[in-house]
Structure 1
Amino acid sequence: MIRKASIMYVKKEAYKEYKKRHDDIWPEMVSELKKHGAHNYSIFLEEKTGQLFAYLEIESEEKWAQMAQTEACQKWWKSMDPLMETHEDYSPVSIDLQEVFYLA
């Protein structure tokens, strides 16, 4: 498994809605995430800044990269656009983090 972590940003006025949408995540989104090798996916919120810390484990970078091209992902990104900092293609502004320590 490959461990990945990133930082994203949610608008402060959207915290509750962001959580609600993830509590009610679409079944087709869950299916595509699993189909594209995602495991142990968690997102944490830092309320003072709106930073989201995302962590997941993937089976391969190639398989994971294909997730962005799925219809479910494209629809999800577009639906989340009002709540988050996003790019023109609706993908979330995201900063990949480099792992510096791991204790198994």
Structure 2
Amino acid sequence: MTTRAFRMKLKPGTVDEYKRRHDELWPDLARALSEAGIYDYSIFLDEETLHLFAVLKLWPDHKIEALPAKPVMQRWWDHMADLMEVEPGNRPREWPLQPMFYFA
């Protein structure tokens, strides 16, 4: 198992809509995430800065690198682009986070 964490950023005034869209996650996107080997995926919001902190776990045989090429992933990015800071192609900007402490 591998754990990855990263930061993203919302645009002002988009918190409620971001939450609503994730509460209505498309079934085909959920399936693509699972098929890529992602499980136990959480996103947290810092309301003061509008930074999103994502933490996900990957199975050892994950295929997360193939996820950006999937049409459903690209449609989701297009669907979310008006709410977040994005790269060309509407992929959300991600800043990797380094593990500093773990307690089991």
What is the TM-score when the length of structure 2 is the normalising length? 0.95
Partner of residue 8, structure 2: 8
Which runs of structure 2 are paired with 1:1-104 in the superposition (5 Å)?
Answer: 1-60=1-60, 63-104=63-104
Rounded Cα–Cα distance in structure 1 between residues aligned with 2:70 and 2:60: 17
Offset of residue 12 of structure 1: 2.1
Structure 1 distance, partners of 2:69, 2:62, is: 12
State the AA in 1 paired with 2:97.
L
Deviations 1:51-101 (A, max 9, x none): 000000012486111111111100000110000000111000110111122
Specify the SS of the correspondent of 2:82.
Answer: helix
Identify unmatched segments of 5+ residues in structure 2: none
Q: How many residues align?
A: 104
What value does the CA root-mean-square deviation take over the aligned residues? 1.3
Q: Which ranges of structure 1 fall in alignment gaps of 5 or more residues? A: none
User: What is the percent sequence identity of the aligned residues?
Assistant: 38
